[in-house]
Structure 1
Amino acid sequence: MDHVPTTMCTQHPDNARVPTWSRDEVIQGDDEVHEAYLAYSLYGCREVMWDFEGKDVDIYVIRKLLTRYPEYFRDHVIGRDIYLTLRLPNPWAETAERKLFSQALELIPTAYDIAREFYGDDNINGVFQVILPLTSRAEELIFTYRYYERVVAGKAFLELLPGVRVMDVLGSVRPSTIDVIPLIEDLNSMLGISRIIIGYWKAIRPKYLRVFIARSDPAMNYGLIPAVLMAKIALSKALNLGRELELEVYPIIGVGPTPFRGHLTPYNVDNVVKEYPCVRTFTVQSAFRYDYPENEVINAVARLNNRSPSTECPIQDHELLMGVIGRYVDHYQREIEGLANAINLVSNYVPRRRARKLHIGLFGYSRGFRGVVLPRAITFVATLYSLGIPPEILGASVINELSDREYTALSETYINMRHDLEAAAKYVCHECLDMITRFSKVFGVGGEVIDMVRRDVKAIEELGIRAGPSDYESRKHELLAQLLINSLVEGRKDDAARYMTEMAIIRRSIG
């Protein structure tokens, strides 16, 4: 397992504070190259995700890293000691950007040539792993593997002139193959993860397989509790299947800083590790790195790096948990459908931290369900927190409907449920719910959905969890949320944006 990193620094735009080295509030361009260097050298992450999904990307990243920071990279060999892993756009889901799929893969042989020249070693594959988001079928993984093998690397053998092959002019193309990592994000794919793994294994026979389980988008689409249960079921299935196939499976989980997105912060590492003991690699996102004291971040990453993952993620009674998921999803999605107008209105004032492209219309894919278009997960979470409706509580009234067996299974499976709900519940703003009802024409939210939210709040309180501010910072957050709503009613857009940022700084994360 030593060759598989335990921490993966990512470019998620969830940081409330702007790092001191960034030349702008929006991190982009050469600043992202410097950021990757700091991820390795300062914070101690052994892997960096270089993200082609929905954003402009520097394709010369390997050259810039090795030429700008040669002393560090001579001692820390990229592709052997530390890793750069590409997240591709999914050409089946992101049709407007599907040509970037091939552009990203073409970076790999160039990285090999640069690393070979820098290290003087033919056996260093600078980049050799790619992540395919929104994976739903084995065929998508097989296509990605074979596209690289036969199109990117295989073109070296094409004869374009009599007796002249591509490699005779451009040189050989290495590596000849890559590792493809499925990123599983939706309910059907998580429950069908065995089908995806088996299909890929039969076609490719990889030596090992890294499987990436999402937490943010499942939470946005299905609710907090279903997202945790889905992730655990998928992890359990993947590891059990790996044992059956005699295939080493190394799970990755994409955890953000808020409880809704996974609750991985420098102060909550032990709880998250306890929740997901079988996970090999945890994502260390931007808010984790930039919204906490630097020494605390470095120590937390070191603790993640030095842990020994379990080989099992046992789950009790899948069928019982599936019943909980089904009821929760239906209730949660009805609430989000009713809140969608307010979410989309307020999302316009969330501060931007990365130069991401829009995920609607011609510029990519949108996130949503039941015909409702929603912003991306980080913005979605920020919006609801800023309205005094932490998304963690939505759907919680379903807990009152569970049988004793169902509640026991839920509590034993989601071991940090109470802790996560307590962390979120202090951002509930009762007055904000009254204000949204009072100004329903502005926010486009009916009284029925606010009543559903109130029932969720009551359910949380019946668990013995205080819903509302509990300290100075959360009381300040409550006042800012009320000011935000007033500023939107009065059309004071600049004030609204400022209040959003101030609340994010209190939460130590945008979303």
Structure 2
Amino acid sequence: MRKVPSTMATQHPDSATKFVPVREEPDEAVYSLKMPTQGLGCDEYMVDYMGKLTPYHQIGQIVLRLTQEKIVPGKDVFITPRMVSDFAEEPFRQFMTLFAVMEGIYYSISSTGEQGILEIVQAMTSTVEELVRCEERANNLFGIVEKELKIPREGKKLRIIPLFEGVAELLSTREVLTKYAKIASVKDYVRVFLGKSETALLYGHPASALSCKVALSDCQLAAEELGIDIYPIFGGGSLPFRGHICFENAKNFLEEYSGTRTYTIQSGMRYDHGSEKTIKLNEMIRSSIKKEATRFSLDERRRIVTSIMIFAKNYLQEISEITERVMMVARFVPDQRERILGSEEVRYYRELRDVKDLAAHCPDKSIAQVIEGLETGTFRKLPRVIKFTAALYTCGLPPELIGTGNALKEIKEVQGQEWLNSLLHEIFPSLINDIEAVTKYYSKGFLVTKKIAESIENLKSFATFHELDNKYGILVKAAESYIKDLEAGKSTTPSKFAIQIAPGEVSEYLGGSVSANLGKLILDLGKLRGSLG
């Protein structure tokens, strides 16, 4: 049986301290995969073609550089691309990604005899059959490369890693994996990618975390039913909203998301927290990973799903009041990687953001009716999750707080105090810790509507709110003045200025233009948090 990676370095643009151009990514990959004496000690590196401006020859470059370092891809470490999901809309981008994979495989087999690239991440498509067709397509191309370039292929094949994002998608994990394993005649193992971030963008922090926990439990049940191994990858960033995968929170997330076999180590962790903490985090995950998922009974699962729907409903109601303003701020969040496509230009994200699918999974008809009645058109225009998260934090409103207080109050009223106690202390014990970790970034700013203010007051019954961090508060005020002028349509005169944020510590904004100065403020706020978004 193959080695299962414990940590996967990714190309997410969530670092506040570093812009990474594509020309530096091969070096980044090698450094991420080298042993801690020379690198970070990650087991796997994801090359991302999902809306990102990644050169098609990048996989081959990484393979060649690894082999020069006497590191064998596919055996010592792993390179795993993520590709566009929709073949009907973007067939040539998918083909080009697959040919890029073949180039990497060719170089790897030629140099080491190992396949090099074993798997490709593909976001869940509308049908299980399309996942199987994608795997067939990849292996058909593999056959062409074998024939034309005379490489030995016996015993080698490419596999697909399905990516599940969204509450409805995560709650369908067991059903989909069971069907996929049977259609694809899987006899040994399946890796599956569970996405926390995009789910949080659409449904809020608690709903996304609980959905991932249910999916992890369901993966274990599916594995037992099928008689195969299922190895979940938990995709998350270092801020609580996106997974809270950081060294300081390692004990919590390893317990909370038990059953995960691979955790993503994104750019915010690697660059904003630094190499030393990243190496320690890699070592801690590798030594302390919990292979057994929390098991939920049918009754517990039904109750958890009802709680998920209550969290999601309240989040959707509150975020809908401020969506347009958040989108305006998000336009000024600097790109920290080179992208070519926004969320509206990728069919996968357009379909994922149809939140009406949520109601079909709701056990409570009255809650389902409220969800079905929501005006959800604006959600399809939301920016990608990192810009969305950065925009909310820049306005002094951590997204973890949105909808949570009102939802906890409603859960108590609808499901009872006993269930609420169980939810907070046994099922999702990290929730209050996650909330308390971000309260020092809450500034009662201009985004806080009456409904959101009420929700935050309710949340104070469950969590301790810390004083606003002084440095953070000063920079939020500066950003807020720019944002209010932009909203009012005022033509802000270009300016250069400096702010004293602490004795002997000055932040300078010398770009002159509104976009340059606001963009730097957004990055500086991200540095204080330890991640852009």
Amino acid at match of 1:357: I
Q: 1:381 aligns with which of 367, 389, 393?
A: 389
From the superposition, tell whether residues 171 and 382 of structure 1 become closer, same or farther in structure 2 (CA, over 3 Å): same
- Identity across the alignment (%): 26
Aligned pairs for 1:261-410 within 5 A: 261-315=242-296, 317-360=300-343, 362=345, 365-366=349-350, 368-369=353-354, 370-372=376-378, 373-396=381-404, 397-402=406-411, 403-410=416-423
Residue of 138, 141, 156 corresponding to 1:152 = 141
* Mapped contact 1:429–1:468 kept (Cα < 8 A): no
1:149-298 alignment, distance < 5 Å: 149=139, 151-155=140-144, 167=147, 169-172=148-151, 174=153, 177-206=157-186, 207-298=188-279
Taking the aligned partners of 1:464 and 1:178, their CA distance within structure 2 comes to: 47
Distance 1:155 1:296 in 2: 44
Shift of 1:5: 0.4
List gaps (5 residues or longer) in structure 1.
19-24, 157-165, 437-448
Q: How many Å separate the matches in 2 of 1:143 and 1:423?
A: 44
- 2:357 maps to none
Alpha-carbon shift at residue 135 of structure 1 (Å): 4.3
* Distance across 1 between alignment mates of 2:485 and 2:278: 40
The one-letter code matched in structure 2 to 1:48 is Y
The whole-number CA distance in structure 2 between the counterparts of 1:222 and 1:489 is 27
Tell me which residue corresponds to 1:455. 454
Deviation (angstroms), 1:173: 7.5
In structure 2, what is the Cα distance between the partners aligned to 1:483 and 1:81? 48
Distance 1:260 1:193, change over 3 A: same
Deviations 1:133-188 (A, max 9, x none): 14453223211111122x313446xxxxxxxxx92x54357475211111100222
- CA 134–382 in structure 1, closer or farther in 2 if over 3 Å, else same: farther
Alpha carbons of structure 1 residues 318 and 363: separation in structure 2 relative to 1, 3 Å: closer
Aligned-partner SS, 1:267: helix
Query: What is the letter of the counterpart of residue 405 of structure 1?
Result: E
Deviation at 1:362, TM superposition (A): 4.8
Give the TM-score normalised by structure 1. 0.86
| Residues 79 and 128, structure 1, Cα contact 8 Å, conserved in 2 | yes
Structure 2 CA distance for partners of 1:280 and 1:136, relative to 1, 3 Å = farther
How many residues are matched?
467
Q: Identify the match of residue 137 of structure 1 among 127, 150, 153.
A: 127
CA distance, structure 2, for counterparts of residue 361 and residue 280 of structure 1: 32
SS at match of 1:153: helix
Please give the root-mean-square deviation of Cα atoms over the aligned residues, in Å: 2.1
Q: CA deviation at 1:285?
A: 0.3
Question: Corresponding residue for 1:426?
Answer: 440
Give the deviation of 1:314 after TM superposition.
1.7
TM-score, normalization by structure 2: 0.83
User: Which stretch has the larger CA shift, 269-278 or 300-309?
Assistant: 300-309
The offset of 1:62, in angstroms, is: 4.4
Looking at structure 1, the residues matched to 277 and 149 of structure 2 have their Cα atoms a distance apart, in angstroms, of: 47
Deviation of 1:225 after TM superposition, in Å, equals 0.7
Mapped to 2, the partners of 1:264 and 1:243 lie a distance apart of 28
CA distance in 1, matches of 2:346, 2:260: 33
Query: Secondary structure of 2:454's match?
Result: helix
Aligned to 2:49: 52
CA contact (8 A) 2:5 2:43 kept: yes
